[in-house]
Amino acid sequence: MLESLFLKRSYNLLFLLLIILSSLYSCNTTEGEPAYLGTEYFGHTPGKWVIYNVDSTVYDDFLGEVFHYNYQVMEVNAGFFIDSEGDESMRLERFWRPDQNENWRVKNVWSSKLIRSKALKTEENITYIKLAFPLGAGQGSTGNSWDGNAFNNKPAQVYRILSLHEPMEVGSKLFDSTATVMQKDFVTLIGEELQYEIFAKDVGMIFKRFIDLSKEVDGTIVRGVNYAYEITDFGMIEPE
């Protein structure tokens, strides 16, 4: 009887030891691993350049005309600088040309930075949160959302991850891993607002759609804009 009791206690101790070892192993292999952030989707690397084909349509209710524009924009990560808030920011030098046979002309200068788990981009002196990290918790995960206007004076606007780590072909380029951020999707009988951007790993934004239209009840467009940026080429400036 004493021998049976001793064996029972031994089995209980062994079982408890296995549970402890299993817990320790689990902590080392999951909790000990750094969380995936996804900052490489922002393409925040000095020397990187991207060229976009831009297709824009403007509906002018004052003149009663519709204007179509096609041109190219090049955005260059020209290097880091310390901004007025004491943060390390990227200088974004932007150029445009009517088509690929023309010379580049200076367009403007924007900036971007990674701060407090957020990717910020300042466009025309307005700062937007383009991405918020971590983007997701694994392959194909979605659902992460944030206020894209939290750093400006515009009304709150919820951005959310629509797709993540998905292969995608944009123009003539095939990208292994992309993230689609829905910024606005609002349609009524008298209006349509659609805004989203697509990012690729180590490249940054590869596509942008912006639609803001006012319509008659019958669907006739009264005024507004509809434009898209589509990547056509990208690369790195060779060091001198």
Domain boundaries in the chain? 1-33, 39-236
Residues 6 or more apart whose Cβ sits within 8 Å of residue 211: 192, 193, 194, 195, 224, 225, 226
Average pLDDT (180-200) is: 96
Residues counted in the chain: 240
Ramachandran area for residue 40 (φ above 0: left; ψ -120 to 50: alpha; else beta): alpha
Q: List, for residues 94-142, the tens digit of each pLDDT value.
A: 999 999 999 999 999 999 999 989 999 999 999 999 999 998 744 444 5
For residues 29 and 82, what is the distance between their CA atoms, to the nearest angstrom? 38
Span 39-236 CATH architecture = Beta Barrel (2.40)
pTM: 0.84
